[in-house]
């Protein structure tokens, strides 16, 4: 099994748990983390013994979003590095590729959410088929307040999962919502007490793993195709370009400084 710097993998029979393992940073996502998520979920495509993948976070938070001390986007990550424009553009698509890798994983996927699911962390959770949250979890999409557009392919996914009105409210107001409101919006499908989060997630994963394998995975493929059709296909290719451009604007730079 591949060893990663920012992830920990744990096999539990037909269920593989993928842990975001930067608890000291609330599992914030830098370039290395996104690269490893893309690689890990890509590799799981051909690990046929794995029927279900649980995406979870070590420590008190699931994921606090992009790491503002080590941002993954190209405008900050590759600046002054001598990278070519194409290399910088490739780097700007890191988040999109990571979210796609989670979404396109042939195994069924479950996000186990505690603490914070912010920005890119919420995007990764939404890329999973199922989401189980603890009662104390909080969710938000702060990108607009940071002077950035929401990218990583998140908008079509949000519109499909929540509906346009809820997605608009979540993305433009940038409000933090609690687990009860997240459940009402459709951000998560289950909310349980914190002490029951592991057991509830493991139970759901076991139930999914017990389903007839080919039928379950074919149905997932169908659902994914219908979701893409409902959102008029994948319109996310330019996401990285939008992020790179916005990061060069003064308001975005100032917002990053304040967060740091």
Separation CA 113–CA 133 (nearest Å): 5
Q: Which pLDDT value is given to residue 243?
A: 61
C-alpha–C-alpha distance, residues 63 and 65, integer Å:
6
144: left (phi over 0), alpha (psi -120 to 50) or beta: alpha
Cβ neighbours, 10 Å, residue 13? 12
The CATH topology of domain 7-193+216-259 is 2-enoyl-CoA Hydratase; Chain A, domain 1 (3.90.226)
110 DSSP β-pair partners: 54, 130
Please answer whether residues 19 and 56 qualify as being in contact, where contact means their C-beta atoms are separated by less than 8 angstroms.
yes
Radius of gyration of the chain (CA): 17
Sheet strands side by side (includes 52-57): 7-12, 15-20, 52-57, 108-113, 130-134, 190-192
DSSP three-state, residue 39: helix
> What pTM, to 2 d.p., does this model score?
0.87
pLDDT number for residue 226: 84
Mean pLDDT, each 10-residue run in order, the chain (260 residues): 92 98 97 97 95 98 92 56 77 91 96 97 97 98 92 91 95 97 97 98 98 95 83 58 60 51
Q: What does the pLDDT read at residue 255? A: 53
Under a CB-based contact definition with an 8 Å cutoff, are residues 141 and 122 in contact?
Answer: yes
CA distances from 69 to 3, 25, 28, 79 (A): 24, 10, 9, 15
Q: What phi and psi, each to the nearest 5 degrees, are found at residue 8?
A: -125, 135
| Angstrom distance (rounded) from CA 110 to CA 207 | 12
Report the DSSP pairing between strands 108-113 and 15-20.
unpaired
The CA-to-CA distance between both ends of the chain, in Å, stands at 35
pLDDT for 92 equals 79
Of the candidates 36, 11, 33, which has an alpha carbon nearest to the alpha carbon of residue 24?
33
Axis crossing angle, helix 94-103 with helix 31-43, rounded to the nearest 10: 30
Provide the β-strand partners of residue 112.
132
Going from N- to C-terminal start, the domains of the chain cover: 7-193+216-259
């Amino acid at each position: 099994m591949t060893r990663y710097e920012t992830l920990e993998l744990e096999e539990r029979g037909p269920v593989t748990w993928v842990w975001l393992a930067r608890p000291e940073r609330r599992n914030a996502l830098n370039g290395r983390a996104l690269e490893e998520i893309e690689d890990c979920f890509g590799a799981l495509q051909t690990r046929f013994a794995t029927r279900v993948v649980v995406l979870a976070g070590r420590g008190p938070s699931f994921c606090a979003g992009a790491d503002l001390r080590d941002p993954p986007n190209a405008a900050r990550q590759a600046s002054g590095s001598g990278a070519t424009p194409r290399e910088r553009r490739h780097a700007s698509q890191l988040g999109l590729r990571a979210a796609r890798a989670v979404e396109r994983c042939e195994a069924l996927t479950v996000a186990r959410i505690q603490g914070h699911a912010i920005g890119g962390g919420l995007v990764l959770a939404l890329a999973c088929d199922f989401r189980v949250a603890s009662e104390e979890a909080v969710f938000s999409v702060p990108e607009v307040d940071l002077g950035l557009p929401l990218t990583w392919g998140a908008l079509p996914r949000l519109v499909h999962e929540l509906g346009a009105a809820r997605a608009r409210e979540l993305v433009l107001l940038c409000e933090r919502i609690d687990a009860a409101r997240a459940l009402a919006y459709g951000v998560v499908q289950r909310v349980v007490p914190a002490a029951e989060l592991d057991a509830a997630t493991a139970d759901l994963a076991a139930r999914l793993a017990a389903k007839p394998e080919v039928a379950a995975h074919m149905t997932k493929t169908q659902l994914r195709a219908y979701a893409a059709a409902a959102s008029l296909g994948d319109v996310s290719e330019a996401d990285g370009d939008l992020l790179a451009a916005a990061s060069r604007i003064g308001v975005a730079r100032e917002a990053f400084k304040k967060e740091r």
